[in-house]
């Protein structure tokens, strides 16, 4: 069964839309297949909107429905190499490394930066 790693921007869009139909579609189509990185969680809670209690509560609810993927030494090392070799941001390098290390397909809007990473499987959302 293929699994997918959600890029932070995809979760931000879901937050902005707060669209229960879109959320239901994701859960029905990808039930048990969606993952979120601890990097995305940190990025999401660093935003101003996450300081609002309602937003934070919804964000925690949304994140809890996905499989949480952490970092280990191998993934962190790979992320450093990706950042150095392809000049992408550290959060993007960490997400790409997480996807590669865990054989996950990255769901993202950001083709420009992630396309630089060899062997990274992506599902682009417009």
List the chain pLDDT tens, one digit each, 126 residues.
689 999 998 888 777 766 565 566 566 666 678 999 999 999 999 988 888 898 888 889 888 888 999 999 999 999 999 999 999 999 999 999 999 999 999 998 888 889 999 999 998 776
pTM value is 0.88
Yes or no: say if 76 and 97 are a contact pair by the CB < 8 Å rule: yes
Instruction: Give the Cα separation of 27 and 103 in Å (integer).
Output: 20
Domain count, the chain: 1
Q: Are 8 and 44 in contact (CB under 8 A)?
A: yes
Q: Please report, for the domain that includes residue 94, its CATH number.
A: 3.40.50.1010
Containing structural domain, residue 57:
4-124
Compute the distance between CA of residue 72 and CA of residue 69 in angstroms, rounded to an integer. Answer: 10
Structure tokens at 77: 């090392």
């Amino acid at each position: 069964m293929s699994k997918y790693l959600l890029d932070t921007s995809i979760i931000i869009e879901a937050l902005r839309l707060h669209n229960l139909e879109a959320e239901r579609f994701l859960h029905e189509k990808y039930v048990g297949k969606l993952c979120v990185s601890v990097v995305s969680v940190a990025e999401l809670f660093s935003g101003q909107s996450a300081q609002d209690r309602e937003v934070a509560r919804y964000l925690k609810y949304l994140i809890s429905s996905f499989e949480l993927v952490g970092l280990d030494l191998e993934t962190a090392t790979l992320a450093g190499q990706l950042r150095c070799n392809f000049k992408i941001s550290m959060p993007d390098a960490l997400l790409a490394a997480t996807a590669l290390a865990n054989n996950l397909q990255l769901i993202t809007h950001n083709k420009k930066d992630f396309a630089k990473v060899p062997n990274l499987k992506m599902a682009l959302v417009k």
